[in-house]
Each structure stands twice: as C-alpha cells, then as structure tokens.
Amino acid sequence: MRDDKVTIAKGIGILLMVAAHAGIPDVISRFIVMFHMPLFFFMSGYCFKEKYPPPPCSNIY
C-alpha cells in the first residue's frame, strides 16, 4: 500500500532540488539547500525495508 504523503514529499524534494540547481536567486537557493537533502535522507530511511538487503555472511574466511 502506497502512502500518498510520502510520494508528495519526495516530489516536492525533487522539485526543490531542480529549482536550487537552476540558477534561482542566491537567498532562495540557500534556503532550499538547507533542507532538501535532509528531506531525501529522511524519506529514504522512512521507506527502508529490512527484507531488501542481503543477510550478512557469517563465514568470511
């Protein structure tokens, strides 16, 4: 089941990243840069599922 709020937050983050890299005035760009990357980190942690990574190897040698 997909949460629309998470999808909207990720879309807003993408739009803000594009706007910050598109040459908008420096004051607005600095404001956007303060939170667009933490937003991506938070969303990726929120969407993380334990079943995706492979299990760690117990016998390395």
Residue 52 lies in a domain: no
Structure confidence at residue 21 (pLDDT): 85
CA atoms lying within 13 Å on the CB side of residue 30: 3
Residue 18 lies in a domain: yes
Q: How many domains does the chain have?
A: 1
What burial class does residue 44 get, using C-beta atoms within 10 Å of its C-beta: 0-12 exposed, 13-18 middle, 19+ buried?
exposed
Residue 19 lies in a domain: yes
Q: What is the tens place of the pLDDT at every residue in 2-59?
A: 778 888 888 888 888 888 888 888 888 888 888 878 888 888 778 777 665 666 666 6
Residue 11 lies in a domain: yes
CA gap 28, 53 in Å, rounded: 38
Structure confidence at residue 50 (pLDDT): 67
pLDDT-derived band of residue 61, with 50, 70 and 90 as boundaries?
low
Residue 51 lies in a domain: no
Residue 1 reports pLDDT greater than 70: no
Residue 53 lies in a domain: no
Residue 59 lies in a domain: no
Domain that holds residue 10: 4-46
Cα(first)–Cα(last) distance of the chain, in Å? 41
Q: Whole-model pTM? A: 0.62
